Chain A
Amino acid sequence: MALVTLKPYKTPELYLECYNISPDVFAGKTSAEIAELDVREGKTTVKLGDFFEVKGNAGKTPEETEIRVSGDCSRIKYIGNKMTAGSITVDGNADMYLGGWMKGGKIHVLGNVHSFCGIAMEGGEILVDGNAENYVGCAYRGDWRGMRGGTIRIRGNAGNDIGTFMLGGTIIVEKNAFIHVSTHAEGGTVIIKGDVQGRVGGQMVKGDIYVLGAVQHMLPGFKKVGMTEREVDGMTAKFTHYIGDLGERHLKVKGKEVYANLYVMAA
């Protein structure tokens, strides 16, 4: 693994769109070449080196490239955009669209992330030690194709609209979530280890949701079908099993409708 370190030395006046902070783009480049990569600040194109001190050359391939951003990225968007391999560590907070459209590799954020983390993700791993804002693993605005694969783990809390239009992959929120989980989802798994306020599984066609805390307000489109024991993220527990969203269309397999599942841990 070749390590490239980016050290922020100047706070952008606007937010920076750093589509190029990705092992795929860095691969095969020297630190000087990396510093010359384009980033966008508003409507102008600037250089990565205008805001970051770049140290170390990248590996030959994305797989062999490790990026460490040592400093706060609260105003840096699109870190790890579309990456397919390698790794990125952010030693602080990151702004919107971290790991968006990601296909492989790993991203670890030691602080918090803003909204749209892992948007339309297809593979790889995102680990956030702090909290996430809204739209974790959701679909792009208007799109009906959300997260398709990979894993997002938020160690803290997450906001609203988690896994909207999700088709596959796993999202784990280790603390609480606000509202709208797996809205319109047609696959994938969302695990909330704390409480959720409500609107869980609205218009959900297929997929699984686990809530290990409480759902404050259940949606009327979910029906209790029994109790079940399930293994979730390394632990086994008893859950109340609901199916839904009964107001949505569902595929039929061998004449039987396939519903989405909501498992709420039994008290």
Chain B
Amino acid sequence: MAEILIKNGFVIDPTRNIDGDVADIAIKDDRIAEQVGSGAKVIDARGKVVMAGGVDVHAHVAGPKVNVGRLMRPEDKLFKSPYAQESYRMESGFSIPSTFKTGYDYARMGYAFVMEAAMPPLHSPHVHEEIHDTPIIDQGALPVFANNWFVLEYLKNQEIENSASYVAWLLAATKGYGIKLVNPGGTAAWAWGLNCLTLNDTVPFFDITPAEIITGLMKTNEYLGLPHSIHIHQNSLGTPGNYGVTLDSLRLAEGMKAKNKFSRDTVMHSTHIQFHSYGGDSWGNFESKAREVMDYVNQQKNITVDLGCVTLDETTTMTADGPFEHHLTRLNHLKWANTDVELETAAGVVPYVYDKDIKVCGIQWAIGLELGLYAKDPMRTFITTDHPNAGPFIRYPRIIKWLMSRDAREETLASFKYSSKVIDATNLHAIETERNLYEIAQMTRAGPAKALGLSHMFGGLAPGMEANVVVYDLNYKDMPSDPEMIERAFSRARWFIKSGDIVVKDGDIASHGNKRTFWVNAKVKENPQVIRDIHEKFLKDYTVGLNNYPVWDSLAPNPYVINIDVEA
């Protein structure tokens, strides 16, 4: 690492309101600098777009359920595993790529940070081993809390302080980044073969409702002042008519205030909102409620969302929402994996083919894009595919194309077997909005970085920030008339400098970089009750000993620890 000067590119940096100004970006070691010396390596970016490295707020890229997907789907690798490039590792898989392919593909797209969206705490060592094995990109992982026995018991008694002490302990034990909720209460109910489809369905045995869990964890999160808000996969995912439950859950954020030292002003991130914006009461009259959901998100400024766009691919669904995966395998009759993680969560995996000639899939595709186009604040609306659930992350450039080009959307829509039925059930056909590069940079960089409490490091190009800089083959002043060129440009960065290291050159991997694992160490004052509860549960209920539970330091050998002093 040394000095690099990226000259004369069209710089797009929403964190400083820079939209296409021709400017130089200087890099000194791993940071953006005001200036560099004459000996700096010069990269000519004339006629090309320069952005900060991408930030993915939600993807399933490491850990046991990803690996179950790999194991149960050898066909996902068939004819989709290129031979190794000289001196780099072999890549394999499509919707559930190998760790190396994951790192390489994100880097090729110019992504610097990726959040693993659901870490089962008990299996956090596996998550960290895979994260460590994934080159180039910085990563964090969100442990799941919304079906955890400790949390359910504390929140039932409204013990926010105890809940916070436990969450702080678990984040440190698992080297986790923040609080993830997956089907609050519903996954716990799944252990009884049940589910919680509305916010007031009581969780068996625990006698608590999803609404209480969500509110309780939101309070816990702000009590601790974590960098990220709570991150929620809502109840009733993927069912026609679920948008009412979605709005009910979002409303729980009303009146909540963000309390943290990370410039985060939101209190709830609602993930893969596409799966939660469904109207109708069956697949027969299934329709888009994207407008209703996005209207609310637009006016409720303390929440963020990510899209979870359906990409019309054959993919692999995987989630801690155990009952949903069971529902899915009954729908498509494809193979199903299901697991219980004692005291904590569950998970399921089912392959899924989003066929463009199936009406429902076409409507789902349209809903994801409608949400991205209705959003009034791109700083609070992020591009994702809930990888791999709605499609693989390598399709982000395709989503960008669809959001930026009405022609591209219309062409896809017209290729559907039931395009007129899809048009009837959605609004996409009538939407003329086309996103510009500035908004795309907000939705893929500045916005997610801010929501994760990382805006001081990621998402922008101000001096002092991490030297994550991408050069794309796009001319800001002369954007291609062929939308395919947009997809191509975002798929393979011309240059990508990650933490000051050139990791991609001409779309090919040039270095394994220097990846780090981000985790949050929230120091709370000693809480004897919670310590006693933890010891007791490990003696009584867990099948592992407490000493064997935490992630060893050696499994995350390049940590970036965010320390929070909660007492202060």
Contact = CB atoms under 8 A, between A and B. Distances in A.
A256 interface: no
B78 A144 contact: no
A142 B73 contact: yes
A41 to B, nearest CB: 12
Interface string B52-85: 0000000000000000000011111010000110
B75 A141 contact: yes
B84 A144 contact: no
A224 interface: no
A164 to B, nearest CB: 13
Contacts of B73: 142
A140 B75 contact: yes
Contacts of B333: 249
Contact of A140 (B74, B83, B334, B335): B74
Interface in A25-45: 40, 43, 45
Contacts of B84: 43
Interface in A122-157: 140-144
A188 B333 CA distance: 19
A144 B74 contact: no
Contacts of A45: 83
B78 A143 contact: yes
Interface in A42-58: 43, 45
Contacts of B83: 40, 43, 45
Interface residues of A, number: 9
A142 B68 CA distance: 13
Contacts of B74: 140-142
Contacts of A43: 83-84
Contacts of B335: 142, 144
Interface residues of B, number: 11
Contacts of A142: 72-76, 335
Nearest to A40: B83
Contacts of A143: 75, 78
Interface in B329-346: 333-335
A45 B86 CA distance: 12
A140 B84 CA distance: 23
B240 to A, nearest CB: 23
Nearest to A139: B75
A254 to B, nearest CB: 20
Contacts of A144: 334-335
B154 to A, nearest CB: 42
A142 B73 CA distance: 5
A20 B73 CA distance: 26
A236 B536 CA distance: 75
A213 B326 CA distance: 42
A45 B75 CA distance: 23
Nearest to A19: B79
A43 B72 CA distance: 25
A144 B83 CA distance: 25
A263 B73 CA distance: 33
Interface in A142-192: 142-144
Contacts of B72: 142
Nearest to B79: A101
B162 to A, nearest CB: 45
Contacts of B78: 140, 143
A142 B337 CA distance: 13
Nearest to B330: A249
Interface in B71-110: 72-76, 78, 83-84
A228 to B, nearest CB: 29
A259 to B, nearest CB: 16
Contacts of A141: 74-75
Interface in A209-267: 249
A140 B75 CA distance: 7
A141 B76 CA distance: 10
A140 B78 CA distance: 8
20 contacts: A40-B83, A43-B83, A43-B84, A45-B83, A140-B74, A140-B75, A140-B78, A141-B74, A141-B75, A142-B72, A142-B73, A142-B74, A142-B75, A142-B76, A142-B335, A143-B75, A143-B78, A144-B334, A144-B335, A249-B333
Closest 9 A-B residue pairs measured CB to CB? A143-B75, A142-B74, A142-B75, A141-B74, A140-B75, A142-B73, A140-B78, A144-B334, A141-B75
Given A40-B83, A142-B335, 14 more contacts: A43-B83, A43-B84, A45-B83, A140-B75, A141-B75, A142-B72, A142-B73, A142-B74, A142-B75, A142-B76, A143-B78, A144-B334, A144-B335, A249-B333
